[in-house]
């Protein structure tokens, strides 16, 4: 089976930096995704890591360590609009591609 | 242009009824999915179809039956609705290859069973 763990909720201040961690256990690992979901909306893609290391995309960066089963999403220069749920998702190959989502981290950015 | 669309956006119905949710994607993707997101925001995969063929069925009650008339459409039919079926249902699609299966989600259908 699979197990994905991420904090339930985090708070941060506008302009600050926040790191959202995700740990996972899975067989047939096939990449890790981060999605952003605003209240009442659909998840939208933020990043994809399949090799170890840091992927940077503007204010958002994502890191992966496959040996540790660990990833983080780093958000810089936080804005109020970054208040949302951040979902860690692991892809797994088990005959076919199977995506599994963590329960999401609700990030609250305050002034 | 809407990439992944679902209808209806809201669905309120009585227990025991049968209802359907429709999904269409115009991205040319080979794989489509249905997810259920409960009140605690846990997003769980229900079904996956690749080129009109079922490839994942994750322990979903057989009251739920997906139907894919072609690779651009994946509909979800639910029989004998129960209170616990109340949730937001998301359709999604992806390229369907081995790597980088970024999910493109529809806007969701909020189902409320009374």
Cross-chain Cβ contact B45/A45 below 8 Å: no
Residue whose tokens read 């609009």 = A81
Show pLDDT as tens, one digit a residue, over chain A (111 residues): 568 999 999 999 999 999 999 999 988 888 899 999 999 999 999 999 999 999 999 999 999 999 999 999 999 999 999 999 999 999 877 666 778 899 999 999 999
B64 — contact with chain A (CB < 8 Å)? no
A42 vs B42, B100, B108: nearest CB: B108
For A26, residues 6+ apart whose C-beta sits below 8 A from its C-beta are: A2, A3, A69, A90, A92, A100
Cross-chain Cβ contact A42/B106 below 8 Å: yes
Closest approach of A14 to chain B, Cα-based (Å): 24
**3 state SS of B79:** coil
Distance in angstroms (rounded) separating the CA atoms of residues B22 and B72: 11
B101 vs A37, A42, A97: nearest CB: A97
Minimum Cα–Cα distance from B98: chain A residue: A97
Q: For the segment B52-63, what is each residue's pLDDT rounded down to a tens digit?
A: 788 777 788 999
Cross-chain Cβ contact A103/B48 below 8 Å: no
Closest approach of B4 to chain A, Cα-based (Å): 11
């Amino acid at each position: 089976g699979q197990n994905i763990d991420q904090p339930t909720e985090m708070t941060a201040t506008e302009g600050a930096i926040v790191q959202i961690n995700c740990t996972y256990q899975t067989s047939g690992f096939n990449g890790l995704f981060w999605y952003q979901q605003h209240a009442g909306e659909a998840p939208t893609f933020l990043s994809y890591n399949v090799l170890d290391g840091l992927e940077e995309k503007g204010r958002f960066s994502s890191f992966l360590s496959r040996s540790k089963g660990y990833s983080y999403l780093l958000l810089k220069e936080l804005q109020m609009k970054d208040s949302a749920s951040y979902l860690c998702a692991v892809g797994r190959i088990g005959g076919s591609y199977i995506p599994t989502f963590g329960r999401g981290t609700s990030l609250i950015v305050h002034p | 242009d809407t990439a992944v669309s679902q209808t209806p956006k809201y669905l309120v119905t009585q227990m025991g009824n049968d209802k359907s949710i429709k999904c269409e994607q115009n991205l040319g993707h080979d794989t489509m999915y249905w997810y259920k997101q409960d009140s605690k925001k846990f997003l769980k995969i229900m079904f996956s179809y690749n080129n009109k063929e079922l490839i994942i069925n994750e322990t979903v009650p057989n009251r739920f039956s997906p139907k894919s008339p072609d690779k651009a459409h994946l509909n979800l039919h639910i029989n004998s609705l129960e209170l616990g079926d109340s949730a937001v249902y998301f359709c999604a699609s992806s390229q369907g290859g081995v790597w980088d299966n970024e999910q493109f989600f529809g806007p969701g259908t909020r189902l409320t069973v009374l």
